Amino acid sequence: MRVLAAVSVLVSAAVHLYLWLDFARDDDFLGPSFMLNAVAGAVIAVLLLVWRHWIPAFLALGFGLSTLLAFVLATTVGLFGTTANWTGWAVWVAAAAEVVAIVTGARLLAVDNPLASRVKS
């Protein structure tokens, strides 16, 4: 499950790096946002694989939710003056990867419940 979460976050990060190289680097808002997304996704993917803790799962869940929500906002009401639409392979690949990150992050959190009692009876 951790590998699937790591792959999904890394795919989203790779798509955002591709989009940064393609057009976003020239935009004062999108450029830094897309680069931050690419770097954060890579870091979270590594953390998921090397650190058996609930925090990387939480980060994967938050990464997927925030990235997908930002795109949905951009396609509906606009986000910081930017509008987008649901066209192109990159949009669908990133959205699918982010849904997988949300589901796997939530599942990992349920298994590694940080709120569970540490006291064993």
Series of mean pLDDT values for 10-residue runs along the chain (121 residues): 97 97 90 96 98 96 97 90 87 97 97 70 52
Please tell me the predicted confidence (pLDDT) of residue 52: 92
Torsion sign (Cα): 8, 59, 70, 103: positive
Q: Number of helices (H) and strands (E) in the chain: give both, helices first.
A: 4, 0
Please tell me the predicted confidence (pLDDT) of residue 117: 59
Assess contact for 31 and 20: CB atoms under 8 A.
yes
Backbone angles phi, psi at 21, to 5 degrees: -65, -35
Amino acid at 112: D
